[in-house]
Chains A and B, each alone.
Chain A
């Protein structure tokens, strides 16, 4: 058994958990399986050595890195996507379920909220954006390098401020 095989045997018990991890980011099951194969091949072919718990920690780190790159690629694709012309869209069936008035209201509400968040204090904006994107307190804290209590405190202030702005801006 060579080095790569030995590493693979140690890591195989975690295979399904890594696939599950990728599916949490909206990747299709097939994409999640491909990404998982990529992670395992990288780790098994790497020169680094690790045993026991370190193997799982190493695998998690590799999976996060692959996830970040794949998400980054997905955003780059979106940014570079060709916008369909109105003519091309004209022939497609209209599958909207909301009325035009409601759609306008929703768009206005969304624009207002984004503008309002932009007006928050510097230290409140990043946690508030992630909170609105429905990350947990722990995820917000970990990704921004803050403590959970700092996140809660900043969110509390930001929420109050947004409520104030809402009252001020209401006709």
Chain B
């Protein structure tokens, strides 16, 4: 009927049907726990069984990295690196603070400039004296267990700083809404101290929210991302952070 040398082709031919039958591949969390040996035996066996239907995923976990570049010509490599440097320096544009200038008399312009300078200096002194933040700091956050080697430590945040936090997460399926809860952790009963409802997922896979640490006491916090649908909230990712004095 079929000899052994024909098995791989015959197997590949029916693989997509088999994948449709068994459902989606294991989640990132399941795969990571399997690799770390953290799963109970029966669950580990179940994940191995499911993973075995997705050989590309298994290969992505295990395939040794190539020893050299065989994909790009030198000029392509150069172009990619130039593009990468440019992207790395791209920051979101700051919103315009002042309206477009209109024509006015020279004396009036000088007077206005002096008044504005005095006001700015006064505000700056007031901010410094209060120890308040002077600008928004953008931080891209990777979820616990997704930050790579040596990244078990919490994400470090400073006190008295305005942050634009950009948690990164790619859900297996889109949800109608997303919510982020900020919890004070490291206590016997962690409590939600702020909830960001209807957070918008951006095209780059982040869920940006503003957070000022001025009123947070130093310590451990958790930012928890939920996918919300039909009244149910699914916990998708956790970002453990430590607020500490600068």
Contacts and interface: CB of A to CB of B under 8 A. Distances in A.
Interface of A: 4-5, 8, 12, 15-26, 29, 32-33, 36-37, 40-48, 50, 54, 57-58, 60-65, 67-69, 71-73, 75-76, 78-79, 106-107, 109-114, 117, 122-123, 125-127, 129-130, 132-135, 138-145, 159, 162-163, 166, 169-170
A49 B245 CA distance: 20
18 contacts: A4-B88, A15-B72, A16-B69, A19-B80, A21-B63, A36-B80, A43-B148, A47-B155, A58-B148, A68-B31, A69-B170, A110-B10, A112-B1, A112-B10, A113-B10, A125-B52, A126-B52, A145-B34
Given A19-B72, A61-B148, 9 more contacts: A15-B81, A19-B71, A21-B66, A23-B71, A76-B173, A109-B2, A129-B52, A145-B37, A166-B1
Contacts of B168: 42
Interface of B: 1-2, 4, 6-8, 10-20, 24-25, 28, 31, 34-35, 37, 44-45, 48-49, 51-72, 76-77, 80-81, 83-85, 87-88, 139-140, 142, 146-151, 155-156, 168, 170, 172-173
Interface SS of chain A: helix
A47 B151 CA distance: 9
B86 to A, nearest CB: 10
Query: Which of the listed residues B53, B61, B71 has the most CB atoms from chain A within 10 Å of its own CB?
Result: B71
Contact of A71 (B37, B60, B151): B60
Given A20-B66, A21-B66, A37 B80 contact: yes
A126 B49 contact: yes
Given A17-B66, A20-B71, A133-B12, A142 B61 contact: yes
B148 A111 contact: no
B166 to A, nearest CB: 9
Contacts, number: 217
A60 B53 CA distance: 24
Interface SS of chain B: helix
Given A16-B72, A110-B11, A113-B14, A21 B65 contact: yes
B98 to A, nearest CB: 28
